[in-house]
Chains A and B, each alone.
Chain A
Amino acid sequence: MTTARIDARFAALKAQGRAGFVAYVMAGDPDAETALAILRGLPGAGADLIEVGFPFSDPMAEGPPVQRAAQRGLKAGMTLKGTLELIRRFREGDAETPVILMGYLNPLDTWGLEPFARAAAEAGVDGLIIVDCPPEEAGPLVAALEAADLSLIRLATPTTDDKRLPAVVKGTSGFVYYVSVAGVTGVKEADAAAVAPAVARVKAASGLPVAVGFGIKTPERAAEVARVADAVVVGSALVDEVAAGLEMNEDVTTRVLNKAAALAKGVRGAREGRKDGDG
């Protein structure tokens, strides 16, 4: 059961009394080898879980940073198969860090859901987030993933009301991803005060840890969210480091890992000196 890696990581975080830091990387950005170097460096920089995006030509829920990252990945020739190969190579040196694959349905659909799910499990993927596959359309994907012991991580959003929430989290495992703003990735800023009750609501409905993402760009904001969530996801701010590194002709891997370390520090230090009952 590969979701064991996710469950073990959240149990460990709870024991440590802190939130986790989830770092997002776009496969193939700016090229396969650099993306692999970033992946390999992330646990050392403080990432507790890693989301690996696979590029899609039409990423409808992404803001400009991740759109550009996907374009760079595609330009470098990255594919869904290539993405699994990256993860397989990452797994050669890391058996602990959960890896969540994130993207859009069409590349999976093209591959075939069952053979894709088997290949993903073999490569060492633990779960998937498929942005354009809401519960209403998820039946075939869930069946394929479950057969390969993979988890489909569900998204809850500010528009997911109480009536709909149970259906959204039904039968899910691993954790729930709470999208903290109505919008695309990396544009609006998350409001930690508004996030707290939403996290509590999703947690109560799902009985699972809740990771919060979209609109978290700085260590300070990450720390605020880390006080109320089980994990904090940062994507756009990290892929923007790739863009900045390319633009300024600096080492991309170093820039991304430095940013990740700063964010991880914010998350890890968030609850120090506070009495916090809830992990």
Chain B
Amino acid sequence: MNKPLPNDYSAWPDANGRFGEFGGRYVAETLMPLVLDLDAAYAAAKADEGFKAELGSLRTHYIGRPSALYFAERLTEVYGGAKIYLKREELNHTGSHKINNAVGQILLARRMGKTRIIAETGAGQHGVATATVCARFGLPCVVYMGATDVERQKPNVFRMNLLGAEVRPVTSGTATLKDAMNEAMRDWVTNVADTYYLIGTAAGPHPYPAMVRDFQAVIGQETKEQILAAEGRLPDAVVACIGGGSNAIGMFHPFLTDDGVRLIGVEAAGHGIETGAHAASLTGGRPGVLHGNRTYLLQSDDGQILDAHSISAGLDYPGIGPEHSFLHDVGRAEYISATDQEALAAFQQCAELEGIIPALEPAHALARLPEIAREVGKHGVVVLLMSGRGDKDVNAVAEHLGRRI
């Protein structure tokens, strides 16, 4: 691989899996040969017409792609700024963008001859997507999920069980997504011969950040075509929520070389950045090494990883995909945040105005939309990535609103 030009942000990572100083392969030696194998297998698959055809067919007939790009007339009217479009990933099979990646990786796992799939999940969306593709291809599936998340995402736990997956609650550490990821890594290092680790976000050791991004980039590619068809021009800004950031990088990546398009990521500010109880790694963290990559992390002065907090289990992660860290530092993308309360308000407003119940994750992006729409102005166009639907969140939201259902 040639060394990328410094100003071509789309050409990263380099051969060592680096996005500038971020990324890399910080794994135990036992996993290193596996990570290198995966890199080679993915490179071969990417170049293979048969693989592309199989992926394309599943996208069309199983996921239901392309997902709609929908003009949100009433949000546009209420905010009084740019025209707002929603990229409707919540309409995908299983209800979020996570299936894009799960379908891609399960095909790769099959090509590699792996017979057992493991995954980590936070909100349960990636767990459901993984359990779904494992059911589809008849592979046994174990999903690690923090015990705290098992409790707050019960419907998704049951969905995974229905799909034939075993959900293993993780009680170590803080019993959330980061601990589920630790536990999945421990499983992988123990079952090296037959097991494929299907990581759900654009983080982890190389090649995961690049591979997950590539599978999610279908979001941005479709958006580009659809907005050109609808408006005859590129958007002024695209907006997406960020936990690990796989939905956002899938949207951003095809626009990286379009200088006129602002890329805006919205992190979870929890109770507020100043309270320390948040999940905003870029806004409130600093670079370090966790889960196989160098990236921005929430951490103590001694380098211990801190608990993240967000109302949304899917954003409740103290790290972020390394490519976002890179885009943050070089200034190509902007990263802002929204609190639990702001997300809750946006959740309700979107339901009431558009008849779309968003997941709590994209509700964070929705919360910043009024300012962005007004900043861009009347003649502009903004696309918001509706990464998932809110059915899984209705119980949690009812509780926050003091309603019993």
Which A residues fall within an 8 A CB radius of B? 55-64, 67, 71, 74, 79-81, 104-111, 131-134, 136-137, 154-161, 164, 168, 179, 182-184, 187-188
A61 near B28: Cβ-Cβ < 8 Å: yes
- Spot the interface stretch: B6-14, B80-88, B263-271, B297-305: B297-305
Task: Tell me which residues across on chain A come within 8 A of B34, comparing CB atoms.
Answer: 159
Question: Is B33 an interface position by the 8 A CB rule?
Answer: yes
Task: Tell me which residues across on chain A come within 8 A of B30, comparing CB atoms.
Answer: 61, 157-159, 179, 182-183
A58 near B189: Cβ-Cβ < 8 Å: no
Task: Tell me which residues across on chain B come within 8 A of A179, comparing CB atoms.
Answer: 29-30
Q: Which chain B residues numbered 21 to 78 have a C-beta less than 8 Å away from chain A?
A: 24-34
B305 near A58: Cβ-Cβ < 8 Å: yes
0/1 interface trace, chain B 283-294, chain A, CB 8 Å (1 if under): 000001111100
Question: Is B190 an interface position by the 8 A CB rule?
Answer: yes
B29 near A156: Cβ-Cβ < 8 Å: yes
Partner among B27, B186, B192 whose Cβ is within 8 Å of the Cβ of A132? B27
A60 near B29: Cβ-Cβ < 8 Å: no
Our count of residue pairs bridging A and B at CB distance below 8 angstroms stands at 116
Task: Tell me which residues across on chain B come within 8 A of A182, comparing CB atoms.
Answer: 30, 189-190, 192
Report the minimum CB–CB distance from A145 to chain B (whole Å): 16
Task: Tell me which residues across on chain B come within 8 A of A64, comparing CB atoms.
Answer: 172
Partner among B33, B192, B299 whose Cβ is within 8 Å of the Cβ of A110? B299
A106 near B289: Cβ-Cβ < 8 Å: yes
Report the minimum CB–CB distance from B204 to chain A (whole Å): 11
A164 CA to B182 CA, complexed, in Å: 25
A160 near B192: Cβ-Cβ < 8 Å: no
A189 CA to B173 CA, complexed, in Å: 25
Task: Tell me which residues across on chain B come within 8 A of A111, comparing CB atoms.
Answer: 303
Question: Is B251 an interface position by the 8 A CB rule?
Answer: no
0/1 interface trace, chain B 158-200, chain A, CB 8 Å (1 if under): 0000000000000011000011001001100110100000000
Report the minimum CB–CB distance from B372 to chain A (whole Å): 34
A187 CA to B186 CA, complexed, in Å: 11
Partner among A55, A58, A74, A137 whose Cβ is within 8 Å of the Cβ of B182? A58
Report the minimum CB–CB distance from A26 to chain B (whole Å): 14
Known: A57-B305, A58-B178, A134-B26. A161 touches B33 (CB 8 A): yes
B289 near A63: Cβ-Cβ < 8 Å: no
Task: Tell me which residues across on chain A come within 8 A of B33, comparing CB atoms.
Answer: 159-161, 164
3 tightest A-B CB contacts, nearest first? A110-B303, A107-B303, A183-B190
Which B residues fall within an 8 A CB radius of A? 16, 24-34, 172-173, 178-179, 182, 185-186, 189-190, 192, 288-292, 297, 299, 301-305
B178 to A, closest residue via Cβ? A58
Task: Tell me which residues across on chain B come within 8 A of A187, comparing CB atoms.
Answer: 190
Task: Tell me which residues across on chain A come within 8 A of B299, comparing CB atoms.
Answer: 106, 110
Most buried by A among B29, B179, B288, B291: B29
B28 near A134: Cβ-Cβ < 8 Å: yes
B288 near A109: Cβ-Cβ < 8 Å: yes
Task: Tell me which residues across on chain A come within 8 A of B290, comparing CB atoms.
Answer: 58, 106
A188 to B, closest residue via Cβ? B190
Q: List 28 A-B contacts (CB under 8 A).
A: A56-B303, A57-B173, A58-B178, A58-B179, A58-B290, A59-B182, A60-B189, A60-B291, A79-B302, A81-B302, A106-B289, A106-B297, A109-B288, A109-B303, A110-B301, A132-B26, A133-B26, A134-B29, A136-B25, A155-B28, A156-B29, A158-B30, A159-B192, A160-B33, A179-B29, A182-B30, A184-B189, A184-B190
Partner among B27, B189, B192, B289 whose Cβ is within 8 Å of the Cβ of A109? B289
Report the minimum CB–CB distance from B25 to chain A (whole Å): 6
Report the minimum CB–CB distance from B13 to chain A (whole Å): 13
Task: Tell me which residues across on chain A come within 8 A of B302, comparing CB atoms.
Answer: 79-81, 107, 110
Task: Tell me which residues across on chain B come within 8 A of A57, comparing CB atoms.
Answer: 173, 304-305
A151 CA to B291 CA, complexed, in Å: 25
B32 to A, closest residue via Cβ? A134
A184 CA to B184 CA, complexed, in Å: 12
A163 to B, closest residue via Cβ? B33
Report the minimum CB–CB distance from A82 to chain B (whole Å): 9
Task: Tell me which residues across on chain A come within 8 A of B32, comparing CB atoms.
Answer: 134, 136, 159-160, 164
A184 CA to B187 CA, complexed, in Å: 8
Task: Tell me which residues across on chain B come within 8 A of A183, comparing CB atoms.
Answer: 30, 189-190
A56 near B304: Cβ-Cβ < 8 Å: yes
A131 CA to B29 CA, complexed, in Å: 8
Task: Tell me which residues across on chain A come within 8 A of B304, comparing CB atoms.
Answer: 55-57, 74, 106-107
